[in-house]
Amino acid sequence: LVKDLTTAQQKVVQITRALAQKASVLVLDEPTAALVKREVDSLFDVLRRLRDDGIAVVFISHYMQEIEKLCDRVTVMRNGTDVGTVDPRQTPIDEIIAMMIARDVGEMFPKRSVTLGAPVLEVSKLRLGGSFENIGFNVRAGEIVGFTGLLGSGAKEIVQCLFGLKTAEGGQIKVEGREVALSTPVKAVRDGIAMLPEDRRAHGVALGLSVRENISLASLRRYSKSGLVSRGSENQAVDGLIKELSIKTPHRDALVRELSGGNQQKVAIAKWLSCQSRVYVLDEPTVAVDVGAKVEIYNLLNRLAGEGAAILLLSSDLLELVGVCDRVLVVYRGRLAGSFSGSAMNSDALLAASSGARSNIDGVAA
């Protein structure tokens, strides 16, 4: 059944269905968001053949390298307005990004200066049969640690265990020095862990509920007394988060399904900010959101780190990891294959470790 497939596998099925219709115009909206490089390359080969056969292809993507590699022309949209059409083979990527975000590309990954504190999240000898074994690392207060690995590496299963979506068969997890048993998401939330899932529409937000209901959903105890919700205090907190995250919504009671993907993602983040969590586990938080929303999310991560939160960022976007994180851990076939920081943290090194071509295990648990 399709519901039993991974997000990446579901995306492949959708693309295959579209290709099977033999249309004269093929529109693909973020088709590579959940695909690994090998799958992306295969898709591009198919699209080039379709183009050569006379099919018109409209390719919507926020991945600049894909636009440069595949497209003949690119039209840039910003806030509902066409701001220009250029040839991506002749126009520098930095210039295209600047058109999208109306600011210098150097501001894409905001810099920060944070003094790291004591470990907030400590993981040791974690294992889950068939997925990963002997996983150990920590995340300190104020630190953003990246996590990556190819599809099937076990990276996703590790972060799922940190939120009780899967139960590890062995090992130890500590939050602020206290061992926790994360057998369910409810227990994870009570122990100060928040998780932003990859598929926001299926698992991150309730599309049929309002912005207000989504934001306060996980923290109703803060606004309740004797089982009754104080609507005034709830509205005040929700309005503050809407303003803080620049969520574009007509009003707090608008349905989340009416918002753009980037604003839905901000609502999902606001839900956990309302909980005042200590550990934030983010699974592909910028997939299928526009570049401007990405910058806002990066700024938010910096702010959370500055307030002493520990952040674990799982991402397949290597440039994002290098631009945002203090350290990046790479998982290869169920084991930590590398820990990269400073000048050693670059996309080539991360890709090599992800594919097993290079190992750098010194200081993995540091």
pLDDT for 117: 94
Structural domain for 42, as ranges: 2-103
In a domain, 243, yes or no: yes
Separation CA 63–CA 7 (nearest Å): 18
Is a pLDDT exceeding 70 seen at residue 228?
Answer: yes
Q: How many domains does the chain have?
A: 2
**Bigger pLDDT: 103 vs 19:** 19
Which pLDDT band, with edges at 50, 70 and 90, does 362 fall under? very low
> What are the pLDDT digits (tens) for 303-340?
899 989 999 999 988 888 999 999 999 999 899 999 99
Contacts of 29 (CB under 8 A, 6+ apart): 60
Same domain, 84 and 164: no
Q: Single out the residue in 103, 127, 157 at which a domain terminates.
A: 103
Same domain, 230 and 145: yes
Is a pLDDT exceeding 50 seen at residue 366?
Answer: no
In a domain, 138, yes or no: yes
In a domain, 265, yes or no: yes
pTM of the model: 0.72
Same domain, 134 and 246: yes
Q: What angle do CA 232, 238, 242 make, to 5 degrees?
A: 145
> What are the pLDDT digits (tens) for 134-173?
999 999 999 999 999 987 889 999 999 999 999 999 999 9
In a domain, 221, yes or no: yes
Same domain, 95 and 164: no
Q: Single out the residue in 58, 73, 103 at which a domain terminates.
A: 103
Percent of the chain at pLDDT above 90?
A: 40
Is a pLDDT exceeding 50 seen at residue 195?
Answer: yes
pLDDT for 80: 76
In a domain, 110, yes or no: no
Phi, psi of 88 (to 5 degrees): -65, -15
Same domain, 335 and 202: yes
Q: Single out the residue in 69, 103, 137 at which a domain terminates.
A: 103
**What average pLDDT does range 202-206 have in this prediction?**
85
Is a pLDDT exceeding 50 seen at residue 363?
Answer: no
Q: Are 280 and 311 in contact (CB under 8 A)?
A: yes
pLDDT for 360: 58
Is a pLDDT exceeding 60 seen at residue 361?
Answer: no
The CATH number of the domain where 38 resides is what?
3.40.50.300
Same domain, 154 and 255: yes
Q: Are 337 and 359 in contact (CB under 8 A)?
A: yes
Is a pLDDT exceeding 50 seen at residue 19?
Answer: yes
In a domain, 41, yes or no: yes
pLDDT for 103: 59
> What are the pLDDT digits (tens) for 64-120?
778 888 999 999 987 678 999 999 888 887 788 778 766 555 567 877 778 899 999
